[in-house]
Amino acid sequence: MDRITILLADDHVLVREGTRELLEKEEDMAVVGEAGNGEQAVTLTADLRPDVVIMDIAMPKLNGIEATKAIKAIHPDSAVLILSAYDDDQYVFTLLEAGAAGYLLKDVPSHELVEAIRAVNAGESVLHPVIARKVINRFALSGGKALSESALDQLSEREMEVLGLAAKGMTNMEIANELVLSVRTVQGHLSNIFSKMHVGSRTEAVIQALKWGWLSLEDIQ
């Protein structure tokens, strides 16, 4: 079984040690490196090419925001999962727009972190309930900026269906069951959506769709 390779980026040694101990109990996960600052996180990502980077925000030399941008630039296949004590709007939206696939607060139960890692590795997005509400309030309630019909026409009807269900938080398997498709076909649709929208993750795609007015609050409830 191929294991999910993980890089831990946090400036607190005890946090890294505790997280490593938790994750190494999982048969499908392997922690391949640890970074104590943002610069190390970027360098180790380039060297190790982990599947998932668990990233804190407040770190020396390079903060989590800049490190996430750099990581997505050099190795976009690495999913960045933010694990932070901060839920300030300035951090949330900047990180999600920088390409983070998920954003959890450090008060989440350990089993939710484990499931979140599996989810972002599978190309799904994960948002702490507090963060999800902030995203909805920011982009859906304020009203999206409508684009031309030609821009919206880039996505097929089926791709819009998949995007809408992804926005509801449904997994690839749940979308497949809902639309009577294979999981591989759903993954293919999502890949096409990302390419057409010039984004790298579900989270980015949903945020863009909300900002552009492709999806509304009613669509994602």
Same domain? 123 vs 54: yes
Residue 138 is assigned to a structural domain of this protein: no
Same domain? 114 vs 167: no
Backbone angles phi, psi at 55, to 5 degrees: -120, 130
Q: Which of 132, 164, 194 is the last residue in one of the domains?
A: 132
Same domain? 36 vs 117: yes
Residue 33 is assigned to a structural domain of this protein: yes
- Whole-angstrom CA distances from 67 to 16, 72, 102, 107, 195 are 17, 9, 15, 23, 23
Distance (Å, rounded) from C-alpha 135 to C-alpha 192? 23
Same domain? 86 vs 14: yes
Model pLDDT, residue 49: 93
Distance (Å, rounded) from C-alpha 69 to C-alpha 80? 10
Same domain? 122 vs 162: no
Q: Which of 98, 132, 166 is the last residue in one of the domains?
A: 132
Same domain? 121 vs 207: no
Same domain? 34 vs 116: yes
Model pLDDT, residue 70: 92
Distance (Å, rounded) from C-alpha 58 to C-alpha 207? 24
Overall domain count for the chain:
2
Q: Stretch 61-67: mean pLDDT, rounded?
A: 88
Residue 205 is assigned to a structural domain of this protein: yes
125-162 pLDDT, tens digit each? 777 666 666 666 666 555 545 444 444 557 888 888 88
pLDDT over 90 (residue 205):
no
Q: Stretch 53-62: mean pLDDT, rounded?
A: 89
Length, in residues, of the chain = 221
Distance (Å, rounded) from C-alpha 135 to C-alpha 208? 11
167-197 pLDDT, tens digit each? 777 778 888 899 898 888 988 888 888 878 8
Residue 137 is assigned to a structural domain of this protein: no
Range of 204's domain? 143-220
Residue 114 is assigned to a structural domain of this protein: yes
Q: How confident is the model at residue 35 (pLDDT cuts 50, 70, 90)?
A: very high
CB 105 within 8 A of CB 130: yes
Q: In this structure, what CATH number is given to the domain that contains residue 189?
A: 3.40.50.2300
Distance (Å, rounded) from C-alpha 170 to C-alpha 162? 10
Residue 53 is assigned to a structural domain of this protein: yes
Same domain? 30 vs 121: yes
Structure-token pair, residue 85: 């004590």
Number of Cα atoms under 13 Å in the Cβ half of residue 94:
14
pLDDT over 70 (residue 20):
yes
Model pLDDT, residue 124: 75
pLDDT over 60 (residue 88):
yes
Model pLDDT, residue 217: 58
Is pTM beyond 0.75? Reply is no
End-to-end CA distance of the chain: 36
Same domain? 126 vs 147: no
Q: Stretch 96-106: mean pLDDT, rounded?
A: 82
Q: Which of 76, 109, 132 is the last residue in one of the domains?
A: 132
Same domain? 72 vs 112: yes
Residue 204 is assigned to a structural domain of this protein: yes
SS (H, E, C) the chain: CCCEEEEEECCCHHHHHHHHHHHCCCCCEEEEEEECCHHHHHHHHHHHCCCEEEECCCCCCCCHHHHHHHHHHHCCCCEEEEEECCCCHHHHHHHHHHCCCEEEECCCCHHHHHHHHHHHHCCCCEECHHHHHHHHHHHHCCCCCCCCHHHHCCCCHHHHHHHHHHHCCCCHHHHHHHHCCCHHHHHHHHHHHHHHHCCCCHHHHHHHHHHHCCCCHHHHC
Measured from the Cβ of residue 121, the count of other Cβ atoms closer than 10 Å reads 20
Distance (Å, rounded) from C-alpha 93 to C-alpha 144? 15
Same domain? 126 vs 64: yes
Same domain? 34 vs 113: yes
Q: How confident is the model at residue 221 (pLDDT cuts 50, 70, 90)?
A: low
